[in-house]
């Protein structure tokens, strides 16, 4: 598991979205090359915990994950 | 420590707890033996008198792995209900997840009367519905209102919690817990990680105090097992966030 730090603009967007639990959100990350990385844990709206590395500059969109809830 | 049959795990996850985080059972093993004990997190059976797993293992996944090393398994369990008189004073929290629990239970029963692929399908569906019920803890709970002078706590591994606005409010959809639950059960940052099933395993040692106005909209529920933590604490969601001036802190508590 690696940590990817989000840019300030994505963090600002995430804090406007509901949490999945205290201090974290589960999100799906869409990259500019079309890849979709599902169920990424984001801590404090800034630190992505992911097993699939990506460059934060390549993020096209982030949405709250609906597939697995908290677990 | 022993693991349970998958179908039994599914069924137990739909049944009431004896106390927070566990169920008391008479277990039937695949060897034909019968033993009394508890099932923690619907996954691991501990015989009566067996030392608590926290004394030996650092985290829940290790416990599950260790329990799985035994060839003995629990194949059936009879639940021992908690005595009604010991439930006095336990606060009843309205949850909207009853529908999913009922549906999960029905699928589990159907699985017990099926075989082969059909049985597997029912089990998977039961598990999915159980997860929905669990995830519904506070998220799908009905919106209620705060009482006058009700106080809440929020635990965070970071002193700069991004959900706290510059004006000391909170953004919509922010989680917290009640002062009563926090003060009675959380003395360290690690306590908070376990009780609120936090995703970040770093000690959540920064404690914010939240004092919303009377009749603020929120949802209340119970933290379900997640992130390799047992949960069990009270969780609330400030559906619409809170205005400036409602948050103080953080106050630091010990990490461990």
Residue numbers in A near B228 (CB within 8 A): none
- If you average pLDDT over residues A47-59, what whole number do you get? 93
ipTM value > 0.95:
no
Residues B156, B117 share a domain = no
- Measured in degrees and rounded to the nearest 5, phi and psi for residue B58 equal -75, -30
pLDDT at B88: 38
Contact B162 A45 (CB under 8 A): yes
pLDDT band at B89 (very low <50, low <70, confident <90, very high): very low
Q: Is the pLDDT of residue B99 over 90?
A: no
Residues B108, B15 share a domain = no
- Mean pLDDT estimate for chain B: 82
Q: Are A64 and A17 in contact (CB under 8 A)?
A: yes
Handedness of CA B82, B84, B89, B92 (dihedral sign): positive
Residues B150, B84 share a domain = no
- If you average pLDDT over residues B57-86, what whole number do you get? 79
Interface residues on A facing B, Cβ-Cβ cutoff 8 A: 11, 14-24, 41, 43-46, 49, 68-71
Residues B240, B195 share a domain = yes
Residues B149, B117 share a domain = no
Report percent pLDDT > 70 for chain B.
81
pLDDT at B94: 34
Residues B56, B101 share a domain = no
What's the gap in Å between the CA of B200 and the closest CA on chain A?
Answer: 7
Which residue ranges make up each domain of chain A? Answer: 2-64
Q: Structural domain tally of chain B?
A: 3
- If you average pLDDT over residues A52-64, what whole number do you get? 92
What is the reported pTM?
Answer: 0.57
pLDDT band at B102 (very low <50, low <70, confident <90, very high): confident
Domain holding B123, by residue range, is 91-141
Q: Are A20 and A14 in contact (CB under 8 A)?
A: no
Rounded to whole angstroms, the Cα distance separating B7 from B108 reads 7
- If you average pLDDT over residues B208-226, what whole number do you get? 90
Q: Is the pLDDT of residue B137 over 80?
A: no
pLDDT band at B133 (very low <50, low <70, confident <90, very high): low
């Amino acid at each position: 598991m690696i940590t990817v730090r989000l840019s300030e603009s994505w963090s600002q967007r995430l804090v406007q979205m509901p949490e999945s639990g205290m201090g974290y959100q589960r999100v799906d990350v869409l990259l500019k090359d079309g890849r979709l990385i599902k169920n990424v844990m984001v801590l404090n709206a800034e630190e992505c915990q992911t097993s699939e590395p990506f460059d934060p500059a390549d993020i096209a969109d982030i949405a709250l994950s609906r597939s697995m809830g908290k677990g | 420590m022993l693991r349970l049959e998958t179908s039994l795990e599914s069924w137990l996850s739909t049944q009431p707890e004896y106390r927070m985080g566990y169920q008391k059972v008479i277990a039937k093993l695949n060897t034909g033996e019968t033993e009394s004990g508890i099932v923690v997190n619907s996954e691991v059976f501990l015989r009566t008198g067996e030392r608590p797993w926290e004394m030996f293992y650092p985290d829940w996944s290790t416990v599950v792995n260790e329990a799985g090393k035994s060839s003995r398994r629990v194949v059936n369990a009879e639940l021992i209900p908690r005595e009604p008189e010991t439930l006095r004073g336990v606060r009843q929290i309205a949850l909207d997840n009853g529908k999913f629990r009922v549906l999960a239970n029905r699928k589990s029963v159907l699985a017990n009367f099926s075989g082969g692929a059909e049985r597997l399908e029912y089990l998977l569906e039961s598990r999915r519905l159980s997860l929905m019920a669990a995830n519904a803890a506070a998220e799908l709970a009905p919106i209620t209102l705060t009482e006058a002078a009700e106080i809440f706590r929020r635990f965070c591994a970071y002193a700069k919690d991004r959900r706290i606005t510059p004006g000391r409010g909170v953004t919509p959809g922010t989680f917290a817990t009640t002062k009563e639950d926090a003060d009675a059960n959380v003395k360290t940052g690690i306590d908070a990680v376990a009780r609120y099933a936090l995703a970040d395993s770093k000690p959540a040692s920064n404690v914010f105090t939240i004092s919303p106005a009377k009749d603020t909209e929120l949802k209340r529920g119970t933290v379900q097992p997640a992130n390799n933590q047992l949960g069990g604490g009270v969780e609330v969601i400030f559906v619409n966030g809170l205005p400036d001036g409602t948050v103080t802190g953080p106050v630091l508590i010990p990490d461990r």
